[in-house]
Amino acid sequence: MIVDCAAYEGGKRREGSLSMERAGEVAGEGGAFVWLGVVEPSKEEFATIAQEFGLHELAVEDAVRAHQRPKIEEYGDTLLAVVKTARYVDPKEVIEVGEISIFVAPGFVISVRHGNADLGPVRARLERRPDLLAHGPVAVLYGIVDHVVDRYIEASHGFDEDVREVELQVFGEGHNPTERIYKLEREVLEFQAAAAPLAEALEELCSGNFAIVPEALHEYFRDVEDHLRRVTGRIENFRQLLDSALEANLTQVSMQQNEDMRKISAWVAIAAVPTMVAGIYGMNFEHMPELQWRFGYPLMLAIVITICLFLYWRFKRAGWL
Amino acid sequence: MIVDCAAYEGGKRREGSLSMERAGEVAGEGGAFVWLGVVEPSKEEFATIAQEFGLHELAVEDAVRAHQRPKIEEYGDTLLAVVKTARYVDPKEVIEVGEISIFVAPGFVISVRHGNADLGPVRARLERRPDLLAHGPVAVLYGIVDHVVDRYIEASHGFDEDVREVELQVFGEGHNPTERIYKLEREVLEFQAAAAPLAEALEELCSGNFAIVPEALHEYFRDVEDHLRRVTGRIENFRQLLDSALEANLTQVSMQQNEDMRKISAWVAIAAVPTMVAGIYGMNFEHMPELQWRFGYPLMLAIVITICLFLYWRFKRAGWL
Amino acid sequence: MIVDCAAYEGGKRREGSLSMERAGEVAGEGGAFVWLGVVEPSKEEFATIAQEFGLHELAVEDAVRAHQRPKIEEYGDTLLAVVKTARYVDPKEVIEVGEISIFVAPGFVISVRHGNADLGPVRARLERRPDLLAHGPVAVLYGIVDHVVDRYIEASHGFDEDVREVELQVFGEGHNPTERIYKLEREVLEFQAAAAPLAEALEELCSGNFAIVPEALHEYFRDVEDHLRRVTGRIENFRQLLDSALEANLTQVSMQQNEDMRKISAWVAIAAVPTMVAGIYGMNFEHMPELQWRFGYPLMLAIVITICLFLYWRFKRAGWL
Amino acid sequence: MIVDCAAYEGGKRREGSLSMERAGEVAGEGGAFVWLGVVEPSKEEFATIAQEFGLHELAVEDAVRAHQRPKIEEYGDTLLAVVKTARYVDPKEVIEVGEISIFVAPGFVISVRHGNADLGPVRARLERRPDLLAHGPVAVLYGIVDHVVDRYIEASHGFDEDVREVELQVFGEGHNPTERIYKLEREVLEFQAAAAPLAEALEELCSGNFAIVPEALHEYFRDVEDHLRRVTGRIENFRQLLDSALEANLTQVSMQQNEDMRKISAWVAIAAVPTMVAGIYGMNFEHMPELQWRFGYPLMLAIVITICLFLYWRFKRAGWL
Amino acid sequence: MIVDCAAYEGGKRREGSLSMERAGEVAGEGGAFVWLGVVEPSKEEFATIAQEFGLHELAVEDAVRAHQRPKIEEYGDTLLAVVKTARYVDPKEVIEVGEISIFVAPGFVISVRHGNADLGPVRARLERRPDLLAHGPVAVLYGIVDHVVDRYIEASHGFDEDVREVELQVFGEGHNPTERIYKLEREVLEFQAAAAPLAEALEELCSGNFAIVPEALHEYFRDVEDHLRRVTGRIENFRQLLDSALEANLTQVSMQQNEDMRKISAWVAIAAVPTMVAGIYGMNFEHMPELQWRFGYPLMLAIVITICLFLYWRFKRAGWL
């Protein structure tokens, strides 16, 4: 589905939208460039676009089937960038990964998105920055990548909060966070697989390898790369923290077990006293003088209770109760 | 055993199959190339082929004995590529690894396969793409490698499902998944050993190191490499997930142990009450007024049962029962 | 907020402070350079500075928003260095991270700091070293970075002490240090994220990549890099020690549990003896000769106590009590 | 001790053995080369050899003292290769490491071996391949290295079997395999230390760095390197499997503990029933109507046994017994 | 403190020692070189030396303050090498780390040592090797580094023994080795931090990067590097072994716990039999025929003892006792 198609000249949008045929013509004319936004196109739909703009067979296949690795590739004078979008859905604690393929050539930009990744705000923000758009179609690529990495930063904040919550669960009262830690680790790995390979692509973009990238944009891509590296550094830290949390949690479970065992044992010990004493005075020896004492029974009860209280106090002091 | 032997000219298969001798001649003539498909050849069988096509002693040895590492090597103007095929057998949860050696020279392609790896579909698919086959024998190499990597993707889906099943076992009810996790880890390692070294070989193929690889195919090999890197990234993730699952599982086992201990202890505590009380009233003191009471016995029973119920309720509330 | 603004010529400070407008003029004149110190500037405040000195849009954004990665970047003939300051707050066992952005151009240095990072001592120390300042604005960068890395060394000493304390807790008496180990690990990771990327930046500074860095300062930056590497090496060691401490701690917890279990079991065994014997003599058989013995009761008591003492001695010797 | 010394010309061995002095002369004449095989020479013994053939002081020291790292070094026009031999002694599950130093110069090869490493078969095999030996003294180096790596492959098979046995022990019945896993890990590490550095040396040999290595042998060394990489890949896998086995084993031990605890607890619970009931009817209340019932005693026994059987059945069903 | 100061010419020591002033003159004359040995100099003391020989401010600071990283640096035509000495103190199981800074320039060598590191034997050994000393001041650097690495090898042997002792403790009888393993790990890390960075420095020394290093010494430095790599390889192995030992130890502790639990439970089960039987015959039913039997009591005792012995035998056979 085509969502927007417009021509940009000298950093400004020409009024109105273009039909696809007209777009192809404008792309070939020079002086202006076309930005075509497509959402989850069918194979047939995209085949017409590919023919109109002369895209490479393999690049087309990659754009239609999602699930590519983030990358940047050159097919003739057309760049194909694939980036993964990531959104952290907090209540479910999952990372939702989408995908945007961007074709950049001297006369056009085609952005193909799959899954959650609204590019409307990017277009709006870029149209407010004619100085950037004046650098041509690569500026659109910059705008998209910058937007995506900003979403990564947001997602990493979401993780940060959940990791802190997990820590509270590990070291505070609360139910066993093992599953939560594991699930978070899974999501962190997925996030990392989405974000990390982009760094390599950005490095190529700001190193002057591609003739199509104007030098003035190098610093912009370097800036994005820098933000990305900050995110990937944090992701790496999350993984190490979750690893340690998993082990710390195991220790806490063992500690808990030990405390429970001590508590149980203390009560067993206290209960053993009356049982033992009662057993002794339940014996049937003929000559047990205590049994004939007038206050033998209350005395015995008193002694037993005293011992029990003493034990209780001792266990309390030793931290077993 | 020779399974198919045909000549290809301008991307089209010449009618019929060739005898081996005729194949050798065609390979030397130029203009066309021969594709010879061999399955688990005996040493003698392959020696004749090697002589006919002038293959290097070491390359021959590698092709006859399976169990090579995936690699790409140049012997004179002949390329030898070794790739591992992988098929995930789900009910048994094992990865079945086969091997294909492919000799590529200007006039011929020889594919030698060991184990599960039917190349029939590859030949059929390539014959439907004369534009690809027109690039010469290296196109056949591309077709095979592309097919193999597609099988890897399928295998990685199989792993994915089993890893998810294991997670359910770790965190849900069910019997101890330790052995299953370990076995999966073993298979993942084997898969990785089969798939990972291929990336290096593909990189060489798309970097222009080999004169025999036409430039038009570089992008195709790059595309396969990209798919492969996606698979190896996933394999790496499986390993990390299984590692974490092993540790999470240990924690779950400890948790289970603690819960069992609490449950047991709760029942022991409840049972201790009647035992203790019965012990007291089993004593033989002469002066124990309760013993003469008309309703001493039912009263005592009532009290004991009340205490037991109270304890039961307390343990229930504390989550011990 | 501007904290200090002065011109330096031939390594010496010109009397007094400059207004911002005057500073811009001096920076452009040549012969002298201006050092402008800014603390947590608002966006508007810094916009005027940026315009006065012609700073790049992206560099400005980085300087105003803290939370950048340590880095060194070139925008035209202006260097932007971002460094993280670190202070270890011992009673709380947290690392406090601040940030300094330093713009260095032929005519000026602008230092922008966020969080704890008093640059007063740096300015004072540099003004006592005219031989260094004579090398121009990059000397200021050296002074700041040297100061920051010296703070890292102090922070690493703080960690060192706490790691040693944790060890005492793990292997000595004391309460469960799991949480403390985990929290320290978290801080170590944060420290590492602040310090480690700086090494790369310093390497660039001493490798002659930047024309603005006078050769005489290369050795100075190399010296700082060396100190930094020593710190990052130690941080890495802390992480490994804390990892091992976490595992050793788990073992200690298990050991403790085992010892508790043995102690409890020993007491249970000792208590079982009188209970069992009392049970036997509580039976109602008509023909139990011991029951009629004159000293049956004291004899039985004596035997039971003897057995208990014997068991106590055995358990003591076996290390269970 | 000199074990064999012969001259080779055009790939063929000249009749008979040479005295050491004659060997030195032949080495200097050109046209032929000498292969001198030495076993654990004393310092004095080797000093004469070194002088005769003009070996470098440091190379000599390395050859006499065993315990070098595998390496390849150039001393003038003499290559010194040090390789470790490895033999897996299965009943003891230890790896036996030997060492061979090989001096290769245009006119001679000197092989010095320490520990288990019979080079007789290598010499015999090479003498059956005059085409190889015709490439000069480096062919001997190839023969030895190829032989050594083949032994590595055998050793890795030995490990493979033991790792599989260990797996059976971990997941089947049998006694605690912790020590065995640890010891295997130790041997794997030793094997790795012996084998892994050789890869680097082989890479140098097949990369054309050394003028003395004829181009025709490059492919041969590449082939050996390939086999070596397969072995080192497997060793790495063993380490990871043993690591996982150690952790899986810990989980199994915990599981076993939990099962034992459940079994014990089930029996304790069953035994608690008669004890409790008996306690109740052992009380001395005057008014306990059941005590006067004619069949009170057998009835009580019947009820107790029924409850016990019921509990037994419940525990059996729950998998506790 | 200056310990020795002598001039060397053509590999031979000139008679007697030099005063510091005279040393400075000789260093400048050419033809001979001066070796000045200093031990833990005060700041002032070293300042005079630095001035006499024209050492760089930063190099001087590094030499006076110990606690540098091992490194090699060029200040003008003066090399500064910093190496760490290591001595393993076996009874305490700690590694004692010292430091030597060596300034090498065409006319002089200054060795500054801190902590344990007697250079007397190095000087003596070098003076017995005029052929080496004839290569000039760098030969002294070689002599020191060679000596230091030889001490590393000794230290690694000390570790080796202790690791083996720890293994015996883990798998044999003996008290909990957790603390010992942890402490050894700490020392291994410290040793590694001292030794590993030296490899990089040695690599530079034998790669021809420094004009001052004569080519004839390249092979000598390569030899030392080789020995160092062997040591660092072993250190790395120690770390992995200690890691595994820590985990194996945890498993052993769990095993021990399980065995103790089984033993305890077995005794509890045996004791439960008489208690239960005694309870039954302690009941007060009027109609319990066994109670009137003449030999009821001894019969009951016999049955109970038989059951207990049977249980004992069963538990013994099952390995619980």
Instruction: Name the band, by pLDDT with cuts 50, 70 and 90, for residue C254.
Output: confident
- CB contact (8 A) between residue A285 and residue C297: yes
| Nearest CB neighbour to B254, from listed D229, D254, D276 | D254
- Report the C-alpha gap between D186 and D181 in whole angstroms: 9
Residues of chain B in contact with residue D268, where contact means CB-CB under 8 angstroms, are 264, 268
Mean of the per-residue pLDDT values of chain A? 89
Give the nearest partner residue to A279 out of C279, C294, C297, using CB atoms. Answer: C279
- Which residue of B78, B99, B191, B250 is the best one to mutate when testing the D interface, meaning the one whose CB has the most D CBs within 10 A? B250
Q: Is the pLDDT of residue A109 over 90?
A: yes
The residue among B285, E166, B79 whose CA lies nearest residue A299 is B285
Is B247 at the interface with chain D, CB within 8 A?
yes
Task: Name which of E257, E267, E295 is nearest C261 (Cβ-Cβ).
Answer: E257
Tell me whether residues E287 and D296 touch, CB distance under 8 A.
yes
Q: Which of D229, D242, D174, D177 is nearest to D201 (CA)?
A: D229
pLDDT reported for residue B319: 85
Closest CB to A275 among B170, B262, B275: B275
Q: HSE of E4 in the Cβ direction (CA atoms, 13 Å)?
A: 18
* Tens of pLDDT, residue by residue, chain E (321 residues): 788 889 998 888 988 788 888 888 888 887 889 999 999 888 888 888 888 888 888 888 888 877 788 999 888 889 999 999 999 988 888 899 999 999 999 989 999 999 877 888 899 999 999 999 999 999 999 999 999 999 999 999 999 999 999 999 998 876 788 999 999 999 999 999 999 999 999 999 988 889 899 988 998 999 999 999 999 999 999 999 999 999 899 888 888 888 888 888 888 888 888 888 888 888 888 888 888 888 888 898 999 999 999 999 999 998 888
Pick from C228, C256, C95: nearest CA to C162: C95
ipTM for the assembly: 0.82
Per-residue DSSP letters for C158-223?
Answer: HHHHHHHHHHHHHHSSSS--HHHHHHHHHHHHHHHHHHHHHHHHHHHHHTT--TTS-HHHHHHHHH
pLDDT at B68: 82
As a whole-number percent, the residues of chain B with pLDDT over 70 amount to: 100
What's at B3, amino acid-wise? V
Beta partners for E217? none
Q: How many CB atoms lie within 10 A of CB C131?
A: 10
Distance from CA of C258 to the nearest CA of E (A): 6
List C-alpha distances in Å: B86 to B148, D67, E68, E190.
Answer: 8, 41, 52, 45
Give residue-wise pLDDT tens across range E138-180.
Answer: 999 999 999 999 999 999 999 999 999 999 999 887 678 899 9
Residue C20: left (phi > 0), alpha (psi -120 to 50), or beta?
alpha
Tens-place pLDDT, residues C33-86: 999 999 988 888 888 888 889 888 888 888 888 778 899 988 888 999 999 999
**Rounded to a whole number, what is the distance in Å from the CA of B194 to chain D's nearest CA?**
10
Shortest Cα–Cα distance, E227 to chain D (Å): 7
Contact between chains at B274 and D275 (C-beta distance less than 8 A) = no
Beta carbon pairs, B and D, within 8 Å:
125
Instruction: Tell me how far apart the alpha carbons of residues A252 and A244 are, in angstroms, rounded to a whole number.
Output: 12
CA torsion, ordered C37, C42, C43, C49, to nearest 10 deg: -30
| D174 pLDDT above the threshold of 80 | no
Return the bridge partners of B249, or none. Answer: none
CA quadruple D113, D114, D120, D125: dihedral sign: negative
Residue A282 · residue C282 · CB < 8 Å:
yes
Residue of B nearest to D255 (CA): B253
User: Cβ separation of B276 and A275 shorter than 8 Å?
Assistant: yes
Query: What is the model's pLDDT at position D183?
Result: 93
Contacts with D234 from chain B: Cβ below 8 Å: 193
Q: What DSSP line would sit under C94-162, residue for residue?
A: EEEEEEEEEEEETTEEEEEEESS---HHHHHHHHT-HHHHTT-HHHHHHHHHHHHHHHHHHHHHHHHHH
pTM of the model as a whole? 0.86
> What pLDDT does E117 receive?
73
The beta strand positions in chain E, using DSSP E, are 2-9, 12-13, 32-39, 71-75, 78-89, 94-105, 108-114
Instruction: Say how many Å lie between the first and final Cα of chain C, rounded.
Output: 68
C178 and chain E in contact, CB less than 8 A? no
Contact B193 D234 (CB under 8 A): yes
Is A89 in the B-facing interface, judged by CB distances under 8 Å? no
* Torsion angles phi and psi, residue B173, rounded to 5: -75, 165
**Tokens 């790059």 identify what position?**
B222
Which residues in chain D are closer than 8 Å to E257, comparing Cβ atoms? 257
What is the C-alpha separation between D106 and D30, in angstroms, rounded?
A: 8
Reply yes or no on whether the pLDDT at B290 is more than 80.
yes
CA C269 – CA E312 distance, rounded (Å):
16
D126 within 8 A of D140, measured Cβ to Cβ: yes
Report the Cα D116 to chain-centroid distance in Å: 15
Q: Is C254 in contact with E249 (Cβ distance < 8 A)?
A: no
Which residue is closest to D291 within chain E, CA to CA? E285
Measure the CA–CA gap between C145 and E198, rounded to whole angstroms.
26
CA-CA distance, C116 to C109, in Å (whole number)? 20
**DSSP 8-state symbol, D69:** P
Query: Which among D56, D189, D274 has the least Cβ separation from residue E241?
Result: D189
> Are E274 and C272 a contacting pair at CB < 8 A?
no
Q: Which of A237, A275, A276 sits opposite C193 (nearest CB)?
A: A237
For chain B, how are helix, strand and coil distributed in percent, rounded to 5?
60, 15, 20
User: Which H or E run includes A81?
Assistant: strand A78-89
| Residue among D254, D268, D286 whose CB faces B253 most closely | D254
Q: What is the pLDDT of residue D190?
A: 92
Tell me the average pLDDT of chain E: 89
Give A131's contacts (C-beta < 8 A, 6+ positions apart).
A11
Residues within 8 A of A (CB atoms), C 52-71 only: 56, 58, 61-62, 67-69, 71
Q: In the numeric block, which tokens belong to residue A149?
A: 């990495």
Tokens of B137: 């024998």
Question: What's the pLDDT tens digit per position in C140-188?
Answer: 999 999 999 999 999 999 999 999 999 999 988 767 889 999 999 999 9
Distance between CA atoms of residues C105 and A268, nearest Å:
78
Q: Do C276 and E275 touch (CB under 8 A)?
A: yes
On whether any CB of chain B is under 8 Å from the CB of D253, the answer is no
Q: Check: CB of residue D31 under 8 Å from CB of residue D50.
A: no
Mean of pLDDT values over B115-140: 89
Q: Give me the residue from A190, A253, A283 closest to B255, CB to CB.
A: A253
E131 in contact with D at a CB cutoff of 8 Å? Answer: no
* Record: contact A249-B251, CB cut-off 8 A: yes
C255 CB within 8 Å of a chain E CB = yes
Other Cβ atoms closer than 10 A to B193: 19
